Amino acid sequence: MPIFDQGYQHWDGTLSGHAWRWLAISHRGVRTQLKNRWTRMALLLAWLPALALGMFLALWGLLEQKTDDWKGLFTFLPAVVLLDPKAFRAEIWSLAFSWFLIAETYAAMILVVIVGPNLISQDLRFNAMPLYLSRPLTRFDYFAGKLGTIAAFLAAVILIPAVLTYVLGVGFSLSFKVIADTYRIVPACLAYGAVVVLVAGLFMLAISSLSKNSRYVAAIWIGLWLVGSTAAGVLADPNTLAIKWGPIVSLTNNLRRVQEVLLGTGEAFESIREAGEQAMSPFGRRSFGRSFGRRHADPAMKYNPFAQDYPWQWSAYVLSGLVVLSLCILTTRVKSLDRLR
């Protein structure tokens, strides 16, 4: 295309700082993805666990106010918990938010596979890198903008619902003492959301940079996710191999392990279990065991679904390795403008 005029043209717009250059890429990416019908459907479905958590916390707040009309909905809990629900508030909230984050982790995996494949592969397919990097943008700005697109959607299904449901639970408790009892939940959810964004977001961007075909990228993500989960189940199955490190081959298992440590769900479940054992009859113990996922409860009540046989540091090492690997792939695949051919 010929250039007929190289004269000066005055700019009347508002200038912004260089620190926010990446935000333009993220903003454009979010607007583009919201036009996708599947993205909107995934967002709506991802909010269902948040609605369930909000209803649970609201009913639990009514239970703390000695509203016996809703006590029948909590029969899966030991009687000692129902007699004094405020004494077990921190444990119940931790477990409730843990199940919420587990559900939202799977929703996040689905959202990533919908939003992420096109982010870099499409730029490679249409040779758009010179268009990006010929502007006052660095590779860091480019990566941050693409990661910001994924982060916006993951925040919409993890961080924002967690904060809103927490505020709702505090409101129905009618006491500010609940904040002193559950103050660690919101920082734990925020930290977990940051881990999911960093690990899943960078890993998806790295995969997206490996191919110009977005369908291949989506297939690779789904394959790694499902194959890893299946392999973890086979390796860790006590009836087959029973390998201690088996669960760490699954991305979702590693994320869940970190989440349990942040929320302290293992200790919370153990506290409720011990209280139930001390106050319940042998017949009650059997019912309590089944309610928390044990099909064949025994008097010992040793089953804890949040107790893992391997150190949480193993999962942290695996997730950190994925972040480093993703950064290496991105810096190799996306080159500076002076290295583009």
The answer to whether residue 230 sits within a structural domain is yes
**Residue carrying the six token digits 């695949």:** 333
Whole-model pTM: value is 0.83
For residue range 86-123, what is the model confidence (pLDDT) as tens digits? Answer: 888 888 999 999 999 999 999 999 999 999 999 999 88
Check residue 176 and give its pLDDT: 81
Q: Assess contact for 109 and 201: CB atoms under 8 A.
A: no
Q: How confident is the model at residue 287 (pLDDT cuts 50, 70, 90)?
A: very low
The answer to whether residue 6 sits within a structural domain is no
For residue range 136-185, what is the model confidence (pLDDT) as tens digits? Answer: 778 888 899 999 999 999 999 999 999 999 999 998 887 788 888 888 99
Q: How far apart are CA 23 and CA 102, in angstroms?
A: 29
Check residue 100 and give its pLDDT: 95
The answer to whether residue 262 sits within a structural domain is yes
The answer to whether residue 14 sits within a structural domain is no
In total, how many domains does the chain have? 1
Burial of 184 (0-12, 13-18, 19+ CB in 10 A): middle
The answer to whether residue 11 sits within a structural domain is no
For residue range 288-299, what is the model confidence (pLDDT) as tens digits? Answer: 444 444 433 333
* DSSP 8-state assignment for residue 159: I
Report phi then psi at 240, rounded to 5.
-120, -95
* 3-state DSSP assignment of residue 328: helix
The answer to whether residue 108 sits within a structural domain is yes
The answer to whether residue 128 sits within a structural domain is yes
The answer to whether residue 90 sits within a structural domain is yes
- Nearest residue to 112 via CA among 193, 251, 205: 205
When pLDDT is averaged across residues 207-230 and rounded to a whole number, the result is 90
- Domain span holding position 326: 22-336
Q: How many residues does the chain have?
A: 341
Written in H, E and C, the secondary structure of 18-53 is HHHHHHHHHHHHHHHHHCCHHHHHHHHHHCHHHHHH
Q: How far apart are CA 165 and CA 171, in angstroms?
A: 10
Q: What is the number of other CB atoms lying within 10 angstroms of the CB of residue 65?
A: 13
